[in-house]
Amino acid sequence: MGPRRASLIARATVLLTVAASAASGCAAPRGGLGRMGVRADVMDAPSAVVSGGGALVVYEVALRNEGERAVTIERVLRRRSDGGAEQALDGLDLARRVVPKRRVEEPLGRLDLAPGGRAVVLLDAICGAGAATTTFEHDVVLAATTDTGAPAVETITASEMRTSSDVPVTIGPPLRGGGWICENGPSTISGHRRAVVWLHGRPRAAQRFAVDFFRAGADGRTFSGDVARCESYHAFGADVLAVAAARVAVSVDGIPDNVPDATRRAVEMSNDTVAGNHVVLDLGGGRFAMYAHLRNGSVTVRTGDRVARGQVVGSLGNSGNSTEPHLHFHVADGASPVDASGLPFAFDAFAERLGSGTQVQRAVSAPSEGAAVDFLDASHATNGVPEASATK
């Protein structure tokens, strides 16, 4: 996760990921493969998340150089079926949206892929009410030098991909009360979006729609007192709640909380410790809710337990790859912190405080990036959804 705004926090918080990936096997082709040996694939069907700002469609294009010579990604052109403006990404604009992986270089905004190199381009689009009918197509313009030293240019087209028609799962609040600040949502600059790992030869984006919840005091800061003590942070020890009636798929406890710090961790980071103490709920329908960085010794449920909506599953802490107490929450199609594909979700009801201080009640929506949120209890839910639901 990248740095948060200075008015809320004095240090950076870190990704729910580690710099390690496996590279065996090969994903089924989903895009174009050109003469230069570069493949362009849309990773997953674009999915829309609805917030106060409208419908944001979020997805990625993965690039792999399967050829024998280095190539340069000159430009990515996107076309939309809904009449939205074409978008051309190149230079620094393209480089800022790229998650470089093995043997990928990015000097002066130039994106070079050596043989075997891989990269992921993070894309999003604002769409209207018909987001689920929007189709995206992408041309990737490549440049290389031939064996004779002559320049060569090629355009390949990633497979046309329609936005997913699945309705985001509607869930209850993961926390109680107010003062919660939502950070690192699904924008292209978010640390969560950039936490793409390559596993078994394919890129995985479990945190595509992840949100971090911090708690701010009246002064806008997340702590008061000694910044090196977890107990100084307003979020530390808060009850963490089941967002739906569900089965516990994963329950991990016993990992020490970190001393709040941007660089040090209480235990060595790995795919087993990155989420710290955590709980994963099986919501049904192939959807899993992840709660990460819980307080050591606080997890109240065990794998296989059944939980009711609103039941306490643990306390907010600072374990795993975390720099200060906060709750990392996301929904994905698997129970692994990293080997899964992130899915959109909506809270059935919450109150969002706008910059003017006005409080607006939202229904079946996700919080906006940077929003101050008050979670409402079940009696205030506006749509009467008592537990997880996902109607197609």
Q: How much is the mean pLDDT over the chain? A: 85
> How many Å apart are CA 85 and CA 88, to the nearest integer?
10
For the segment 15-59, what is each residue's pLDDT rounded down to a tens digit?
Answer: 454 433 333 223 333 457 888 999 999 999 999 998 876 889 999
Hey, what amino acid is at 371? A
pLDDT > 90 fraction of the chain, expressed in percent and rounded: 64
Q: Which two tokens stand for residue 190?
A: 């978010």
Judged against a pLDDT cut of 70, whether residue 346 lies above it is answered with yes
pLDDT confidence bin for 132, thresholds 50/70/90: confident
Please tell me the predicted confidence (pLDDT) of residue 31. 58
Tell me the domains of the chain and their CATH numbers: 31-162 (2.60.40), 169-380 (2.70.70.10)
Q: How is residue 295 annotated by DSSP?
A: P
> Rounded to 5 degrees, what are φ and ψ at 84?
-65, 155
Helix/strand/coil for 94: helix
Give mean pLDDT, residues 244-265: 96
Please tell me the predicted confidence (pLDDT) of residue 102. 41
- Within its chain, how far is the Cα of 251 from the centroid? 21
Please tell me the predicted confidence (pLDDT) of residue 2. 36
Global pTM reads 0.87
Strands 345-353 and 169-171: parallel
pLDDT confidence bin for 109, thresholds 50/70/90: low
Please tell me the predicted confidence (pLDDT) of residue 108. 53
Residues 6+ apart with CB under 8 A from 329: 174, 210, 211, 212, 213, 289, 290, 291, 292
Which residue in the block uniquely carries the two structure tokens 């959804």? 385
Judged against a pLDDT cut of 90, whether residue 106 lies above it is answered with no
Q: How is residue 378 annotated by DSSP?
A: G
- Could you count the other beta carbons within 10 Å of the beta carbon of residue 91? 13
Give mean pLDDT, residues 215-224: 94
User: Quick one: which H or E segment has residue 59?
Assistant: strand 54-65
Please tell me the predicted confidence (pLDDT) of residue 19. 34
Helix/strand/coil for 98: strand
Give mean pLDDT, residues 310-339: 97
> How many Å apart are CA 220 and CA 225, to the nearest integer?
14
> Rounded to 5 degrees, what are φ and ψ at 58?
-125, 130
Q: How many residues does the chain have?
A: 392
For the segment 272-308, what is each residue's pLDDT rounded down to a tens digit?
Answer: 899 999 999 999 999 999 999 999 999 999 999 999 9
Please tell me the predicted confidence (pLDDT) of residue 381. 45
Please tell me the predicted confidence (pLDDT) of residue 237. 98
Residues 6+ apart with CB under 8 A from 77: 86, 87, 88, 89, 138, 139, 140, 141
Q: Which range has the worst mean pLDDT, 17-21, 128-132, 231-235? A: 17-21
DSSP lists the bridge partners of residue 285 as none
Q: Which range has the worst mean pLDDT, 49-58, 163-172, 245-254? A: 49-58
Judged against a pLDDT cut of 90, whether residue 324 lies above it is answered with yes
Please tell me the predicted confidence (pLDDT) of residue 161. 87
Please tell me the predicted confidence (pLDDT) of residue 153. 95
Give mean pLDDT, residues 253-259: 97
Please tell me the predicted confidence (pLDDT) of residue 390. 37
Give mean pLDDT, residues 245-251: 98
> Rounded to 5 degrees, what are φ and ψ at 117?
-70, 155
Q: How many CA atoms lie within 13 A of 369 on its CB side?
A: 18
For the segment 186-195, what is each residue's pLDDT rounded down to a tens digit?
Answer: 888 889 999 9
Q: How is residue 223 annotated by DSSP?
A: B
Judged against a pLDDT cut of 50, whether residue 392 lies above it is answered with no
Give mean pLDDT, residues 300-320: 98
> How many Å apart are CA 218 and CA 27, to the nearest integer?
49
pLDDT confidence bin for 242, thresholds 50/70/90: very high
Ranked by mean pLDDT, the top range of 135-139, 149-153, 314-318 is: 314-318
pLDDT confidence bin for 83, thresholds 50/70/90: confident
DSSP lists the bridge partners of residue 139 as 77, 157
Smallest CA-to-CA distance from 344 within 143, 106, 165, 98 is with 165
For the segment 353-382, what is each residue's pLDDT rounded down to a tens digit?
Answer: 877 677 889 999 999 888 999 997 654 444
Smallest CA-to-CA distance from 14 within 224, 244, 249, 183 is with 183
Judged against a pLDDT cut of 60, whether residue 6 lies above it is answered with no
Q: Which range has the worst mean pLDDT, 28-37, 81-90, 131-140? A: 28-37
